Structure 1
Amino acid sequence: MNLRNGLKMLGAAGIVLCVILLVTPVTYSGEDDNGPYENNCGSVVAAANSWDECDVERNGRLTLSLIVGGIGVCFFYGAYLAGKTQKDTKEPSDP
């Protein structure tokens, strides 16, 4: 496998992971007088609750997904540059 295809695969994996992080539900774990509890906060795209605790959890998930997606886009750009470099370094055929 050449460099360009490897970078394309990593870019696609980054974008897919970004989408998965955006749509999977976020949970908030806490503890009160009755003991530990877990609340479903919904996903980043479709929020289920508007509690402050859920906002913190969703913002963390949003930040993580944006970083992963940005890295995926960088891999795609690297694949573009690798392909462009391969085309530029080929010797022209003699007529």
Structure 2
Amino acid sequence: MPFYGRTGGSAPLLFGLACGDRLSIGCFAPDGVDAASLGWGTVAEHPGSASVWRDDDPVWRVDAGGSGEPEGRALAEMLVATARAAG
């Protein structure tokens, strides 16, 4: 499921959610947003996300876990902080 944001008169893709056996969230952070400082990792840090997206697209992602594992509040706070940083 894609999520778009409104920044500067356009609506770029900000997040992609995929939920099968595990919840994976990809972040398409615009230039100037320090995604790592907001909690995002790479495919090397979240290898489970490689089955959802190619190795380099999106660069930033999180593997939130399987059924009962995702920490909803922490994920929501990360998404909101990223959206705010993107403007």
TM-score (norm 2): 0.31
Greater radius of gyration (CA): 1
Higher relative contact order (CA 8 A, sep 6+): 1
Larger % of strand: which?
Answer: 2
